A and B are shown apart, each in its own frame.
Chain A
Amino acid sequence: MPRMKSAAELEEFRQQILAQRDADQPCFTLCSGSACHATGCGPVAAAVEQELEKQGLTGKVRFRRTGCHGFCEQGPVAVIYPEGICYLKVKPEDVAEIITETIVNKKVVDRLLYVDPTTGEKATLENEIPFYKHQQRLILGLNLEIDPQSLEDYLAAGGYQALVKALFEMTPEQVVGEVKEAGLRGRGGAGFPSGVKWDFARNAPGEQKYVVVNCDEGDPGAYMDRSLMEGNPYAVLEGLMIGAYAIGASEGYVYIRQEYPLAVENLEVAIARAEEHGLLGQDILGSGFDFTVKVHRGAGAFICGEETSLLKSLEGMPGEPNARPPFPAIKGLWNKPTNINNVETWSNIPLIINRGAEFFNAIGTEGSKGTKIFSLVGKVNNTGLVEVPMGATLRDIIFKIGGGIPGDKAFKAVQTGGPSGGCLPADLLDTQVDFDELTRAGAMMGSGGMIVMDEDTCLVDLARYFLGFLSDESCGKCTPCREGIRQMLKILTRITNGQGKEGDIERLQDLAETTRGASLCALGKTAPNPVLSTLKHFRDEYEAHIHDQRCPSLSCKQLIAFHIDPEKCRACGACLRKCPAEAIDGGKKRIHVIDQDKCTRCGSCLDACPAAFGAVGKLSGEPVPAPVPEEQRAIG
């Protein structure tokens, strides 16, 4: 295929592709995102190819390996078209049956369907599954329709129509105006209005300007950018080109973290294919607009997700932040005006241009428009990527879509916004999720990580954990961040070890204020959030640790003890065999006893003790009962 030189040629090419496609042709679609790779979609794909050949169906049945479908909990996920039948946790040995039964004989393979854990009902189609039913997948939904390496698939799904519209029907001012009117806010965390940001770069003086994609997604708990880049790289490129046209840039960079090799691979293929077809390079589609893009792989530094650090890293400097202003829009990459947005933000641009600002701003809340992708993870039944309109409640996301908490445990808190975000307790579950409401509740949107905690998670320990992470990742350039985090971590470690002191809470609050107020970049400014939000909502847990040396969640190892109830022990020996520390004394028909000095509090005995006996218990904040004297241990 030679370079296409006009919008008409592109449209002709699209029509050719569509003419060759038969909507009724069976298609075996297999999710091949990183998550499904990790759970074995590779062998499943091999089995599909083999089986199609064996049954003489190669060419008659399409086989499409797509990006992430979102339901990572149940992967690998297969969807069979034209019916749209959804099979979960597919294994290589299931493939022959799916092809024979569903594709050839048009029957459903019951055992691979989703079963609702509460009602026991089965769901045949994807949108009958509660996890999908309550979502609005305007961005992520495209992942299902395309093979991320296939330009033809992207064109068949309407790709590059937005670019054509922008280049031939809109002035750059109109494009910026559309994005402003749409009310799109940056999906990377700060929530700054994208159109306004574009305008700064557009109006900044200078001939050479740059656009950059931030795919250095490092926020623990968030992986939607990975799935978008892996699953639909053309949409990111199309959004980026529209942005470049709007601000007057002819060069772009995509910064991808090193941990995302599949994203790099799919993007590089997409760039090569776009170049071949004249969708990148000089005089794109005869419009006079030139645009080239380079891929830059990171090398492991959390701070590089911060925009000024990322730009330094692109220049080949250490990825350390700069004070703003000047903002990158004025002095960015090599001191030239630069517009940087994250992957999800860029992915929204083709939608806005295609459907118009009015379509987009009708979705969402007063201050936050469109949809947002969340990664719903932690102690929740349906982990995965979830796309909902802004303004959905935490309760709907966690319980309706997420299916609640596993194992009849109680919901305790949800952490939103990664390490810089905050924890929200059960009484805030009806909070509407948008940029402003989450901030008002004491958390933040961040890039969309939503980590669910159950009753077993200690929130003081959680704050300690996050501060430990931030202490590692602080670049150390400014003192308030470097030292503030370190001192808070010291105090939190002491508290979780049972050595908390009177005044520790006040000291934490003091340090948090200083760190927040005086740090150079967002890492330090938001680092105290895990402490402040847990203190706000779970202060009693801090007090129990400090005053009573008690961990209410029975989680902090230094504050708990395991004990075998002599009344309940049946001398089965299960705990004794499992104990890795040889801390359990027992024998045939003898009550088992834990030696508290040897015990490492790993909990193996609790897991091993048969539920029918329930003899092993966890204690905190109370003395461990003295062991039964040797001579009284015989069980009659």
Chain B
Amino acid sequence: MNELLPQPEHDHFRAKAAASEHPRELIIDLLRAIQEHHGWVPDEGVELTAEILGLSPLQVEEIATFYDKIFRRPVGRKVIHYCDSICCWATGGEQVAAHLQQKLGIGPGETTADGAFTLLPSCCLGACGDAPAMMIELKLYGRLTPEKIDAALEKEKD
């Protein structure tokens, strides 16, 4: 995945930007598209976004660093977002975080040595009825126990 953005998507965003009264509104979509293909957004991705939307790289950088689901550093193949919000906290979320860290051998914000997972805390995932919860990429896992966490990691590992 060296390519920042496949050509069809590249063309799609250029066309959309040209047709839009406010091309700047596409900034997150474009950064996200780059992230989906490249895994994260490198400097070249910021520059490409700026060029397509007619902005300065600084204007793009300001957005890329404001939102915490846009990654400006390399991450693992899958990102685990464990919820550290109130319902999960009240139902054992700290133990979930501890188990994940111990199992993966990394702290929050770190990536496993094999590049499989990056571990990030996240505020409320909106899964409060199934607390404690985590998302691996966009898949939700609820009512976590150490056994369920182990099974989820096993399933998502490749």
Instruction: Report which A residues bind B (CB closer than 8 A).
Output: 34-35, 37-39, 72-73, 75, 217-223, 226, 257-261, 296-302, 313-319, 334, 375, 377-379, 383-385, 415, 418-419, 449, 451, 453, 457, 465-466, 469, 472-473
Contacts and interface: CB of A to CB of B under 8 A. Distances in A.
A473 B135 CA distance: 20
Contacts of B81: 259
B68 A300 contact: yes
B10 interface: no
A34 B90 contact: no
Contacts of A377: 87, 128-129, 131
A218 B124 contact: yes
B25 A259 contact: no
Interface string B103-145: 0000000000000000000111111111101010010111100
B58 to A, nearest CB: 12
B63 A316 contact: yes
Interface residues of B, number: 41
Contacts of A383: 128-129, 131
Given A299-B32, A316-B25, A318-B66, A384 B129 contact: yes
A73 B138 CA distance: 22
Contacts of A449: 86, 128
B124 A221 contact: yes
B128 A217 contact: no
B86 A299 contact: no
Interface SS majority for chain B: mixed
Nearest to B27: A316
B28 interface: yes
Contact of A223 (B25, B27, B127, B141): B127
B142 to A, nearest CB: 3
Nearest to B65: A318
Nearest to A219: B124
Task: Give the one of B29, B122, B124, B129 with max A CB within 10 A.
Answer: B129
B124 A38 contact: no
Contacts of B68: 299-301
A557 B91 CA distance: 16
Contact of A379 (B31, B32, B90, B133): B90
B25 A466 contact: no
B44 interface: no
Contacts of B37: none
Contact of B123 (A37, A297, A313, A472): A472
A39 B143 contact: yes
A334 B89 CA distance: 39
B67 A34 contact: no
B126 A419 contact: no
Given A38-B141, A300-B69, A316 B22 contact: yes
B66 A35 contact: no
A378 B126 contact: no
Contacts of A37: 140
A385 B32 contact: no
Given A377-B87, A419-B86, A259 B28 contact: no
Nearest to A226: B126
B123 to A, nearest CB: 6
B70 interface: yes
Contacts of B124: 218-223
Nearest to B89: A465
B91 A385 contact: no
5 contacts: A38-B142, A222-B128, A226-B126, A297-B28, A453-B90
B75 interface: no
Contact of B86 (A221, A301, A319): A221
Complex A-B, nearest 10 residue pairs according to Cβ-Cβ distance, in ascending order: A72-B129, A300-B69, A38-B142, A299-B67, A316-B24, A220-B85, A223-B126, A316-B27, A220-B124, A300-B68
Given A218-B123, A451-B87, A299 B129 contact: no
Contacts of A453: 90
B123 A378 contact: no
A261 B127 CA distance: 13
A315 B32 CA distance: 16
Given A38-B141, A299-B28, A334-B22, A451 B90 contact: yes
B24 A223 contact: no
Contact of A315 (B24, B126, B128, B130): B24
Given A316-B63, A378-B87, A415-B86, 14 more contacts: A38-B130, A220-B87, A220-B124, A222-B124, A258-B69, A296-B28, A299-B32, A300-B122, A302-B123, A315-B24, A318-B62, A419-B86, A469-B86, A472-B123
B69 A299 contact: yes
A375 B129 contact: yes
Interface string B73-108: 000000001000111011100000000000000000
A317 B85 contact: no
Task: Give the one of B53, B123, B135 with max A CB within 10 A.
Answer: B123
A42 B80 CA distance: 21
